[in-house]
A = this chain, B = another copy of it.
């Protein structure tokens, strides 16, 4: 039997973000978040180690979307594996999530400690994708270069997607950002 209502993790995340945006990250306590979500402090701590984790709890799932896609893609071309991983990650960012993601990005950007945490998650992502690519037979340094590039595309696409006024859906932004990276770095045409 569940000891807490289904979805209390999501409610806690939403409550945390609301409070961070309203009154500031530093000023917000776990008790305030739990109260806003209508649960006890104990329930909060069943879901998250601390208030920071309420913002970063999705990172592990996001990372798994990338690595699962690399591991299970029918493709064999390394660039296609990266493209498949990026496409899979878009499932994490449906249109209805954009307002939440936008607010979260603003909170993270305003706090150096949160921004650092975000950067470290990206570094971890690059390492995990590189390992998955090596598992698919991609050699080094190509696996590392491609994994870092995958993270680059993801980061830049995400920043684009949360920008005020941006209307394109995440799959489209990811696809166009990857194409732009490839075009930018394209070796000069041989005569």
Contact = CB atoms under 8 A, between A and B. Distances in A.
Interface of A: 78-79, 116, 119-120, 122-123, 141-142, 144-146, 148-149, 151-153, 155-156, 159-160, 177, 179-187
16 contacts: A78-B184, A116-B120, A119-B119, A122-B123, A141-B160, A144-B155, A144-B156, A145-B156, A145-B177, A145-B180, A145-B184, A146-B185, A148-B152, A152-B152, A182-B185, A182-B187
Interface of A is mostly: helix
Contacts of A179: 187
Number of copies of this kind of chain in the complex: 2
A156 B151 CA distance: 14
A93 to B, nearest CB: 17
A147 to B, nearest CB: 9
A46 B79 CA distance: 49
Contact of A184 (B119, B146, B156, B177): B146
Given A145-B152, A145-B177, A145-B184, 6 more contacts: A79-B184, A145-B180, A146-B184, A149-B181, A179-B187, A182-B186
A141 B116 contact: no
